[in-house]
Amino acid sequence: EDKVVQSPLSLVVHEGDTVTLNCSYEVTNFRSLLWYKQEKKAPTFLFMLTSSGIEKKSGRLSSILDKKELFSILNITATQTGDSAVYLCAVKNNQGGKLIFGQGTELSVKP
Amino acid sequence: AAGVIQSPRHLIKEKRETATLKCYPIPRHDTVYWYQQGPGQDPQFLISFYEKMQSDKGSIPDRFSAQQFSDYHSELNMSSLELGDSALYFCASSLRRLAGEHEQYFGPGTRLTVT
């Protein structure tokens, strides 16, 4: 059965800290891995990764995929209170393009 | 930029009633996905449509049905509602007909409460 596992499940840091969120997966016919940020509403798209070793970057956020070891990390540098949210990792397989989500990492950034 | 539109945003129903949720994808997107997110849980895939045909089916109860119309909007029909159906229902859309990978964009969700 396809599975996506995120760690840690929750994390509390202070403003200015750097955090690394982990996502590992076991999926048949992998196509892509996506990161979303959810703040008590709809998940907001962050990154989509399809190739190993190519870092995607957007401001203080960056992500990379390792298709050999079947994992991805999401880095957030110089965290701000506005980064507080649940970060969801999802994997898309060949079966119709549905997303298989991990449990999410709840990040809390304290002032 | 236009986003995915869902209606209603909130819905309160009683057990055994029927509910219809609507989703309007981003213009020119041809694929719609429905997800159910229970309290404190990750979104679970229900069903998807590509070019008005069902393309994949997940953990959708037999009491639920859905379709995609000629204008690409989709409706999720839920009958004989149960307390456990209380959840956030997200619709996401993507553009699948072009080659390559395409991200899914989520709508604001419909919060369904069954009492």
Q: Using an 8 Å CB-CB cutoff, list chain A residues near B48.
A: 96-98
A62 pLDDT more than 90 = yes
The answer to whether A88 contacts B35, with C-beta atoms less than 8 Å apart, is: no
The answer to whether B42 contacts A45, with C-beta atoms less than 8 Å apart, is: no
Q: Using an 8 Å CB-CB cutoff, list chain A residues near B109.
A: 41-42
Encoded amino acid at B42, one letter: D
Confidence band for A1, pLDDT divided at 50, 70 and 90: confident
Q: Determine the pLDDT at residue B95.
A: 86
Across A70-91, average pLDDT: 97
Q: Give me the phi and psi of B7, to 5 degrees please.
A: -145, 150
Mean pLDDT estimate for chain A: 93
In angstroms, the separation between the Cα of residue A95 and the nearest Cα of chain B is 7
Tell me how far apart the alpha carbons of residues A78 and A33 are, in angstroms, rounded to a whole number. Answer: 24
More confident residue, A42 or B107: B107
A98: nearest CB among B33, B90, B106: B33
Q: Determine the pLDDT at residue B1.
A: 66
Task: Answer for the pair A65, A51: CB distance below 8 angstroms, yes or no.
Answer: yes
Show the low-confidence residues of chain B (pLDDT under 70): 1, 97-100
Q: Determine the pLDDT at residue B97.
A: 67
A53 pLDDT more than 90 = no
More confident residue, A48 or B1: A48
A98: nearest CB among B56, B103, B107: B56
Confidence band for A21, pLDDT divided at 50, 70 and 90: very high
Q: Using an 8 Å CB-CB cutoff, list chain A residues near B7.
A: none
Confidence band for A7, pLDDT divided at 50, 70 and 90: very high
Q: Determine the pLDDT at residue B100.
A: 67
The answer to whether A97 contacts B90, with C-beta atoms less than 8 Å apart, is: no
Please report the sign of the dihedral spanned by the C-alpha atoms of residue A50, residue A53, residue A57, residue A61.
Answer: positive
The sheet with strand A3-7 has its strands ordered as: A3-7, A19-26, A71-76, A61-66, A56-58
Across A69-86, average pLDDT: 97
Return the residue of B nearest to A30 by Cα: B101
Q: Determine the pLDDT at residue A104.
A: 94
Confidence band for A97, pLDDT divided at 50, 70 and 90: confident
In angstroms, the separation between the Cα of residue B82 and the nearest Cα of chain A is 23
